[in-house]
Structure 1
């Protein structure tokens, strides 16, 4: 194995857990052979905006649960609890002035069968989510999750574990594509809408377009993990095994 391949594999393995105290003792860090170095050149080529715009527009069309109170949160977490892999994302109110900044208004979590949207403008950070966010055995997959986690910890401190940044993994594999929209185009062959991105996510009443946009981002985050996993780009998790598909 050439030095650059070994370095690449080790760096990718180190991305599996974000901000965890156990990362240095992660059992996968010494298992440099866990990633199959397939021909990833097909994924390294940069995809153009014109190519993306030619792809079919796709959004999430499955079940969605809006979580607006503690009772809803407990119900949702009970349904989420048995899932080994979750798509994860947040949405924050856009800031149009320099220096202005808003913490997340939504937390979106996708399972194999449903997307849950926790509306923080109606209910505080759900205490029931803490156990999931602190469970290293449950993978929370997304893009640019580092900032999302930090912002959520400003709302409610928790010891995060099991968060995986697909953008960081793409970067470690020297892919030109890192963002959610571009990764969806590259790995899933679809185009996702950005129309609702700059809307007010702090509104107590969300539009259908906002709900679908938010659900789509979490759903894509989960689907991307599965596709990148099949491509051999995802390192093993804390149990030394890749999560089973559902």
Structure 2
């Protein structure tokens, strides 16, 4: 298996997006029922989106939390649903793997909304090197492991818009779903034996 992929090779791959059911949640009363379904999964794709800031010193809270199974993606519009109760319980459930790329900032952003103890999170950028893989971005991992290209066109769009566009919805669902697919693909591979760290000989005490 190849351990890396070039930009030119990725550009030649077919473009793919999530083809399952996508549910956008704005009503907080719907959250517990959906989270109850997700609590039964062993692993789910995880991502967030934030309205971009083009001014120095100006930042925004997370606008969207995306969680995906193989067949269904759920987009929680956090300014409407809030981030508490059922969602925070899911985020600190160690039995459900929440899988994503570059998730440290996502977790930090969620903790800014409501402090919680993150458990069960899987960082693909830490997992992939254990299988000898040398690329770390979501786009590169998808190209190398799944054989298709994902669009990043909507990344800097307005995630606080009154209504999300179809392009935004598909982009957000795809990012979470692709993370899960990469994780499942990696689980099929055999890890590369890790070189033992060299230990410095200890000086004998006199």
Q: Output the TM-score relative to the length of structure 1.
A: 0.74
> Of residues 195, 212, 232 in structure 1, which corresponds to 2:190?
232
CA contact (8 A) 1:70 1:126 kept: no
Displacement after TM superposition at 1:232 (Å): 2.6
> Of residues 190, 196, 205 in structure 1, which corresponds to 2:163?
205
Q: Which has the larger radius of gyration?
A: 2
Q: How is 1:1-246 mapped onto 2 (pairs within 5 angstroms)? A: 42-45=1-4, 47-173=5-131, 175-233=133-191
Displacement after TM superposition at 1:206 (Å): 0.2
SS of structure 1 residue aligned to 2:95: coil
Structure 1 window deviating more from structure 2 (167-176 vs 86-95): it is 167-176
Displacement after TM superposition at 1:151 (Å): 0.9
125 and 189 in structure 1: CA distance in 2 versus 1, 3 angstrom threshold: same
Structure 1: which 5+ runs fail to align? Answer: 1-41, 235-246
SS of structure 2 residue aligned to 1:107: strand
State the Cα deviation string for residues 121-176 of structure 1 (Å, max 9, x = none): 32211421122111111101110111111110010111110000001222455533
Query: Which of structure 1's runs of 4+ aligned residues deviate more than 6 A?
Result: none
Q: Output the TM-score relative to the length of structure 2.
A: 0.88
2:201 alignment counterpart: none
2:204 alignment counterpart: none
SS of structure 2 residue aligned to 1:44: coil
SS of structure 1 residue aligned to 2:80: coil
CA contact (8 A) 2:70 2:181 kept: no
Structure 2: which 5+ runs fail to align? Answer: 193-206
State the Cα deviation string for residues 9-64 of structure 1 (Å, max 9, x = none): xxxxxxxxxxxxxxxxxxxxxxxxxxxxxxxxx3423x221111100000001101
State the Cα deviation string for residues 190-221 of structure 1 (Å, max 9, x = none): 00011111100111310000000000000001
SS of structure 2 residue aligned to 1:73: helix
SS of structure 1 residue aligned to 2:18: coil
SS of structure 1 residue aligned to 2:88: helix
Task: Tell me the number of residue pairs that the alignment of Structure 1 and Structure 2 aligns.
Answer: 192
- Give me the whole-angstrom Cα distance separating, in 1, the residues matched to 2:115 and 2:58: 22
SS of structure 1 residue aligned to 2:112: helix
93 and 233 in structure 1: CA distance in 2 versus 1, 3 angstrom threshold: farther
